[in-house]
Every structure is written in structure tokens, then in C-alpha cells.
Amino acid sequence: MARKNNVKTIVTDLTNDFLSDTDTELYNVEFKKEGRDWYLKVFIEKKMDAEEKYIGTTDCENVSRYLSEKLDELDVIEQNYYLELSSPGMDRELIFDKDFERFKGENVEVKLYQAIDGSKEISGELVGLRNDEVVIMVLDKEIILPRDKVAKINLAIAF
């Protein structure tokens, strides 16, 4: 049986190969068990310089068909699983260094492992990463958070 990390690597390589000549790129791959079922979740996004900024159903369908065919052909995942293709969403999690660069100036919601000033959640404008620290602006004050203290950081959705 292919290990979780091996599955992620294989899917990453396959997806990157397929998307190499498009305006779409791989955002993330997750292979995990939820309840009794396994899910292979593949998230794609438009490249920063792409004319169209949003992933559509056609984008997901094309990648899904390709991956489904290639993974069946390679037969590297022993257990049954559900393949899901989607965009990271409007409230996407910022995981990689490139995400912090791409979304500078956007409002974010930060969840911390331990409270700072009595709160485990901070909202503000993303300044970026500096020396592996997350920098956000809250009410004209720069807040610097060591990355290992941040449980999760997502784009904030404003309605």
C-alpha cells in the first residue's frame, strides 16, 4: 500500500505535469481518512498572473479526469478512496511561503495555539512573512507572531 506521503508526492507530480502549460497550478494535496472512508483531496488555483482569477468547474473536471485515469493506470493506492477536486476557497488557509507573498495586504484570521493578550484569535491585514514570523497589522499596530505559534491562518471573508 502506498503511504500517505508517497500518495501526495505522486499526485503532486502528476498534477504539476498536467498543469504545466496552463494558467492553473496545484495549491495542495491531502490524503486522509475521514470516518471509514479515505479521501484524496486536490486543490488547484489560478496562477497569480492568469487573466482569469477563479477556478471553474471545467478546470476541476479536467484535472479530475486526468488524475483518475492516471491513478487507475498506475494503481498505487491500494485502498478505496474518493477523489475530490476543488479550489482552496475564498477563506483559504495560508500554508506555504508563496501564499503569504501572494496575499499581502489582504485581511486574515489567525488562530493561535496559545492566547496572546487573552485571545487565541487575531484578525488583521497581512503584512507578510519576516524571518519565519507572520506579520499582521491590527489597528495601525504591527503584530509579529512566530510561525510555530500559529495554528492556522485563513483569508478573512468580508460580506
Q: How far apart are CA 90 and CA 143, in angstroms?
A: 24
**Whether the predicted pLDDT of 13 surpasses 60:** yes
CATH match for 97-155 among 3.30.70.260, 2.60.40.10, 3.90.700.10, 2.30.30.100? 2.30.30.100
Q: How far apart are CA 66 and CA 137, in angstroms?
A: 42
Task: Provide mean pLDDT across the span 14-41.
Answer: 93
**Whether the predicted pLDDT of 2 surpasses 60:** no
**In the chain, % of residues over pLDDT 70:** 97
For the chain, what are the domain ranges? 4-86, 97-155
In SS3 terms, 16-69 reads as: HHHHCCCCEEEEEEEEEEECCEEEEEEEEEECCCCCCCCCCHHHHHHHHHHHHH
CATH topology of domain 4-86: GMP Synthetase; Chain A, domain 3 (3.30.300)
Q: What is the pLDDT of residues 31-81, one digit of tens each?
A: 999 999 999 999 999 988 878 888 889 999 999 999 999 999 998 888 899
Q: What is the pLDDT of residues 104-128, one digit of tens each?
A: 999 999 999 998 888 899 999 999 9
Give strand pairing partners of 137: 125, 142
